[in-house]
C-alpha cells in the first residue's frame, strides 16, 4: 500500500488547491458517496488541487489534478511527482504535466475510509495554516 501522505504534504507545502469559487475565498471540502471520496481544495489566484478516490473492489483508483498560477511551482511539482512515480516500479502511478497542470493517476490498496480520513485531516491542517497566514506570501 502506498503512503497517501505525500499528497497531503505536497498540498500543505504549496497551498495546492482546486476550483476557484466566485467570491474569491479559499475552500477545502471532502465529499463521500458509496463508491468515491473526493477532496477539493482552493486558494483563488494561487493554486488548485482535487483528487477523487474510487473503490474498485480489491483496490482503489486515485485521479488527481494540481494546477497553479505560477509556472515555476507547476514545473517544480511536476518534477517531484515524476520522481515519486519512478519509485513505484510496478506502474501504479502515472504522472503527466501540461502547462501549469499536473495530472496523477494511480491505484492503491487503501480503502475509501482511510482516504476520507486523510483528506479530512489534510483539510483541518489546511485551515489552521490558512487562518494563520501561511499562504499569504506566495
Task: Specify the pLDDT at position 72.
Answer: 93
Cα–Cα dist 67/41, whole Å:
11
Task: Specify the pLDDT at position 43.
Answer: 87
When comparing pLDDT for 4 and 71, which is higher?
A: 71
pTM attached to this predicted model: 0.80
**Half-sphere exposure of residue 81, counting CA atoms within 13 Å on the CB side?**
26
Write out pLDDT tens, residues 62-102: 999 998 999 999 999 999 999 999 998 888 999 999 999 99
Cα–Cα dist 76/47, whole Å:
13
Write out pLDDT tens, residues 14-66: 444 333 334 568 999 999 999 999 999 988 888 989 999 999 999 999 999 99
Alpha carbon of residue 44 to chain centroid = 15
Task: Specify the pLDDT at position 24.
Answer: 62
Residue 78, SS3 per DSSP: helix
Write the CA distances from 97 to 81, 86, 114, integer angstroms: 10, 15, 27
Nearest to 36 by CA among 7, 8, 9, 63: 63
Cα–Cα dist 134/126, whole Å:
9
Cβ neighbors of 73 (< 8 A, separation 6 or more) are: 14, 47
Amino acid at each position: 500500500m502506498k503512503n497517501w501522505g505525500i499528497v497531503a504534504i505536497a498540498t500543505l507545502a504549496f497551498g495546492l488547491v482546486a476550483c476557484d469559487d466566485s467570491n474569491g475565498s479559499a475552500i477545502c471540502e471532502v465529499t463521500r458517496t458509496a463508491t468515491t471520496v473526493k477532496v477539493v481544495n482552493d486558494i483563488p489566484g494561487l493554486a488548485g488541487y482535487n483528487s477523487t478516490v474510487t473503490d474498485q473492489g480489491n483496490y482503489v483508483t486515485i485521479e488527481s489534478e494540481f494546477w497553479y498560477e505560477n509556472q515555476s511551482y507547476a514545473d517544480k511539482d511536476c518534477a517531484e511527482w515524476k520522481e515519486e512515480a519512478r519509485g513505484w516500479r510496478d506502474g501504479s502511478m502515472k504522472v503527466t504535466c501540461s502547462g501549469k497542470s499536473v495530472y496523477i493517476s494511480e491505484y492503491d490498496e487503501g480503502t475509501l475510509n482511510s482516504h476520507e480520513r486523510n483528506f479530512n485531516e489534510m483539510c483541518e491542517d489546511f485551515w489552521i495554516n490558512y487562518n494563520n497566514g501561511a499562504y499569504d506570501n506566495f
